[in-house]
Amino acid sequence: MTESTPVAPPRRAAFAPAAPTHLSADVVARAHELIALYPEPRSALIPLCHLAQEQDGWLTPEAMVDIAGLVGVTPGEVLGTASFYDMLHTEPVGKHVVAVCTNIACLLGGAAELLEHAEHSLGVGAGGTTADGAITLEEAECLADCDRAPCVQVNHRYVGAQTPESFDQLVGDLRSGARDAEIPPHGTLIRVRRTTGIEADPAVVAEERRTAAEARAAREAAAEGGVS
Amino acid sequence: MAITQPPKIVTSRMGYDDSYTLERYLATGGYDGLRAALARTPEAVAAEVDAASLLGRGGAGFPAGRKWSMLRKNPVTYLVVNGDESEPATFKDHLLVERDPHQLVEGVVIAAYALQVSRVFIFLRGEFALGLERVQSALNDAYAHGAVGRDIFGSGFSVDVVVHPGAGAYICGEETALLESLEGKRGFPRIKPPFFPAAIGLYGDPTVVNNVETMSNLPWIMTNGGAAFAALGGGRSTGTRLFALAGHVANPGVFELEMVKTTFDDLINAPVLGGGIPHGRGLKAFIPGGVSAPWFGPDQIDLPLGQDEVAEAGSMLGSGSVVVMDDHTCAVRAAWRITKFFSRESCGQCTPCREGSGWLERIMDRIERGQGREEDLDLLMDACDNISPGVAWPPQQTTICVLGPSIPSSISSAITMFRDEFLVHIKEGGCPYG
């Protein structure tokens, strides 16, 4: 066999960031606004994932490639980060994500019974999506609305305590579009756009960016060097 | 004890439908605290907060003034506001961000001035969709009003405030996990030392992390003085505090109460507060400070709502949430659900927490389903002991953060207080409460 010295491939060589191709021009413009708010572009990664979900309803592989290019990481790092978070869906979900909390306060308020009813009524288990693509049912951890137990959110909007009867009514209203004005489709999180950029002295902003980039470079150098 | 009538420090606008608007805020003394702060030196503002002895309202209860004084001197420093409220049954910050976002913004700018930071990030849990919109709207209005941004109210002080949405992860309430998340990464807590945020925080720069309620207290403190705040409450627990009451009570909700002067009995049973346990049932147990806290029984209901008082009794006031369980509650089921939560939310970095929480959840689940074994109680306690040696309170820590040592609380409480109930589940193969 030929002698060869194994050489670890450079970590980022495989990915050459390109201009976004999947995210719309408007989303990309908003993405740049968000990135400008942070000393480090990567800080905008999660807000950008929310934006991508606003466009597509979920976090598509194509969107992750665009986000990677926008914030200067690899698509794998976008997926590796997004997969940690419950609200970022790397598989398609329904137009309405209905989250039923079953944590302690809601459990004491009948949440387990409500979830069981929801599963039967919708014909899907927790985590599933109805055949018409209208509803994804989720069993949620505490949503911080415990005085209205059992607590339900639709697309992260609180809809108040639900009984089995009111739950069916809610689902009917969601399917008919009766609550569309109040509850936007899944993915739309913040409908209020920031009206000002960063107003601080440019010298201050530059100093923030410099120290943040320095810290990132030091971390990456440590990572390339392996565990010592 | 009598329920005192302290001034409403953080809930004074809750009676107004338009409490979240700039118009209402300005009509009710809004931004007066900030003007008062800007007329003084940053050191004098910090001294006022120190005089108030304001304890952090996030859960650990560390004095805010002392936290500020520990910030390492550096050309770049940050203030980060922790609004990731996710401790089960805690819903006080939810109220503050949705109903009085300007109060939060004002508090944040006061703190930024005292600390002389030029950048603040308000991290809100992503599930607060309305709260995120309300705080962003408030910020837009506050920038236009001159209360945020460049040369605030002509003082020469400038600060930018950015709202940052989380994406659903309990662990991001842990301050170093929050900073990782804010840097665009998985919410993995950092090891301390060396990563104490005051020394090495966001992007490696010194950072103060304060809770939403802590910030919301600052406008009142600046307007009325730290001494007036410190005159309320008792001992180290000064001022008022928001208590989130949930579970088996007639009137669950968030109540602003004077620390120490009020008891758990008042909170749970007073007609103007919790209104007692419905359906004529009795009290079985209550959790005094979030699900990480050991449980209390009816014999501890007369304890005052004070940080040190609750700590001395073997638990914690924590995040200010109180969960009431009536005497028809299955203790095994309650403890199982809390364990399931920790198992789901463990970030997975440390073996005792990642593996231990899963083991405990599976054992609790089989006991709950009537398939437990005689030796399971010892096995549970042994697994708890491996996560937090001694299973004592305050707990020993074998993990990077305190999520791990929080896991045994509910199991050890339930077994200690309701051992018979576990034995019935195991021996009779079912739950006595059906």
Q: Are B354 and B389 in contact (CB under 8 A)?
A: no
On the question of a cis peptide bond just before residue A75, with omega within 30 degrees of 0, the verdict is no
The whole-number pLDDT of residue A211 equals 93
User: A149 and B246: CB-CB below 8 Å?
Assistant: yes
Q: Are B324 and B301 in contact (CB under 8 A)?
A: no
Best CA proximity match to A101, nearest among A88, A118, A120: A118
User: B323 and A42: CB-CB below 8 Å?
Assistant: no
Query: What is d(CA B269, CA B282) in angstroms, rounded to the nearest whole number?
Result: 11
Q: Give the A:B interface size as CB pairs under 8 Å.
A: 203
**B-contacting residues of A 186-215, CB under 8 Å?**
189-196, 198-201, 204, 207-208, 211-212, 214-215
Q: Are A150 and A109 in contact (CB under 8 A)?
A: yes
Q: Are B432 and B424 in contact (CB under 8 A)?
A: yes
B275's tokens: 């209104």
Q: Annotate B98-137 with DSSP letters as a single string.
A: HH-HHHHHHHHHHHHHHHT-SEEEEEE-TT-HHHHHHHHH
The whole-number pLDDT of residue A6 equals 62
What are the residues whose beta carbons fall under 8 Å from the beta carbon of B149, sequence distance 6 or more? A196, A199, B143, B158, B159, B160
Q: Are B233 and B240 in contact (CB under 8 A)?
A: yes
Torsion of CA B221, B226, B230, B231, to 10 degrees: -90
Which helix (H) or strand (E) segment holds residue B246: the answer is: strand B240-247
User: A142 and B166: CB-CB below 8 Å?
Assistant: no
Provide the ipTM.
0.96
Minimum distance, in Å, between the CA of residue B9 and any CA atom of chain A = 21
For each successive 10 residues of chain B (434 residues), what is the average pLDDT? 86 98 98 98 97 92 94 96 96 98 98 98 98 98 98 97 98 97 98 96 97 98 97 94 98 96 96 97 97 97 95 95 97 98 98 97 97 96 97 95 97 97 94 81
User: A142 and B133: CB-CB below 8 Å?
Assistant: no
Best CA proximity match to B422, nearest among B384, B363, B377: B377
What are the residues whose beta carbons fall under 8 Å from the beta carbon of A228, sequence distance 6 or more? none
Whether residue A2 has pLDDT greater than 60: no
- Mean of per-residue pLDDT scores for chain B: 96
Q: Are B335 and B361 in contact (CB under 8 A)?
A: no
Task: Quickly state the pLDDT bin for A220 (edges 50, 70, 90).
Answer: confident
Whether residue A12 has pLDDT greater than 80: no
Q: Which residue of B has its CA nearest to A39?
A: B203
**pLDDT tens per residue across span A135-170:** 999 999 999 999 999 999 999 999 999 999 999 999
Residue from A38, A78, A104 to probe the interface with B (highest B Cβ count within 10 Å):
A104
Provide the residue type at A64 as one letter. Answer: M
Measure CB to CB from residue A211 to each of B133, B186, B203 and give the nearest one: B203
**pLDDT tens per residue across span A61-106:** 999 999 999 999 999 999 999 999 999 999 999 999 999 999 999 9
- Mean of per-residue pLDDT scores for chain A: 93
Domains of chain B: 22-229 (3.40.50.11540), 232-326 (3.10.20.600), 331-428 (1.20.1440.230)
CB-based burial, B377-411: b 16+ in 10 Å, e otherwise: beebbebbebbbeebebebebbbbbbbbbbbbbbb
Q: Are B148 and A72 in contact (CB under 8 A)?
A: no
Domains of chain A: 25-90+192-222 (1.10.10.1590), 96-176 (3.40.30.10)
CB-based burial, B64-102: b 16+ in 10 Å, e otherwise: bbebbeebeeeebbbbbbbbbbbbbbbbbbbbbbbbbbb
Task: Quickly state the pLDDT bin for A16 (edges 50, 70, 90).
Answer: confident
The whole-number pLDDT of residue A5 equals 64
Task: Quickly state the pLDDT bin for A4 (edges 50, 70, 90).
Answer: low
Q: Annotate B266-311 with DSSP letters as a single string.
A: HHHH-TTTT---STTPPEEEEESSSTTSPPB-GGGTT-BS-HHHHH
Query: What is d(CA A102, CA A113) in angstroms, rounded to the nearest whole number?
Result: 9
Best CA proximity match to B102, nearest among B63, B137, B70: B137
The whole-number pLDDT of residue A219 equals 81
**B-contacting residues of A 85-104, CB under 8 Å?**
85-88, 102-104
Instruction: Give A46's contacts in chain B (Cβ within 8 Å).
Output: 164-167, 181, 184
Task: Quickly state the pLDDT bin for A228 (edges 50, 70, 90).
Answer: very low
B263's tokens: 């008891």
The whole-number pLDDT of residue A14 equals 61
The whole-number pLDDT of residue A216 equals 86
Instruction: Give A147's contacts in chain B (Cβ within 8 Å).
Output: 91, 244-246, 252-254
- Chain centroid offset of residue A98 CA: 15
CB-based burial, A107-132: b 16+ in 10 Å, e otherwise: bbbbbbebbebbbeebebebeebbee
Max CA distance (Å), chain B: 74
Best CA proximity match to B256, nearest among B28, B80, B100: B100
The whole-number pLDDT of residue B274 equals 97
Q: Which residue of B has its CA nearest to A101?
A: B88
Query: What is d(CA B57, CA B256) in angstroms, rounded to the nearest whole number?
Result: 12
Whether residue A9 has pLDDT greater than 80: no
